[in-house]
A = this chain, B = another copy of it.
Amino acid sequence: MPSNARERLLAAAERLFYEEGIRAVGVERILSESGVGRASFYRHFPSKDDLVVEVLRRRDAAWRTWLADTVRASPRGTGELPLALFDGLAERFAADDFRGCAFINTMVEEADPASPAHRVAAEHKQKVIEYLDGLLAAAGYRGHRDLAGQLALLGDGAIITALRERTPDAAPRARAVAEALLATADRGTAPQG
């Protein structure tokens, strides 16, 4: 019942946009790689911009699900559970097709902060911060809100560094900073350690 062509379009677009960039990939490429006809494309999406937004929405959901799964599967204790973010990033950085963060890339490519794609990308980062905030709050960190922003900042810095170096080295480097940060942070009546 769910349209087959639509799924193929989204899958091809997500891959191509990430690998080569949103502006660098034309509709023609998406059609040929997905095997979908031109008319079918515009039956499912009013414009390329709408496809972009839909791709980002799905990737946002998938990415945060992946992060939650990674944290859930982490052997780390509650106190250092937020560091699981960097464990997960280390795996991502090692992937052959790693090309940074799709949402950072979108904010860069779609310069206008009011554009739908830019907004979805910015909101993604905000949701990740809120998730980290929850982890930090559960671990009893005071100032967990600020800490969450700093961990996200470290994660973004690691992603940019990995994009430049083309190695996974940035992940443990950022994690070391995060460890120093959490070590100096004040934990109140910590539920457990």
Q: List residues of chain A with CB under 8 Å of any chain B CB.
A: 19-21, 23-24, 99-100, 104-105, 107-109, 111, 113, 122, 125-126, 146, 149-150, 152-161, 163-164, 166, 170, 173-174, 176-177, 180-181, 183-184
Contact = CB atoms under 8 A, between A and B. Distances in A.
B184 A170 contact: no
Contacts of A157: 153-158, 160
Contact of A108 (B108, B113, B166, B173): B108
A192 to B, nearest CB: 24
Number of identical protomers: 2
B173 A153 contact: yes
Nearest to A122: B164
Contacts of A177: 150, 153-154, 177, 181
Which of A21, A24, A150, A152 has the largest number of chain B CB atoms within 10 A?
Answer: A150
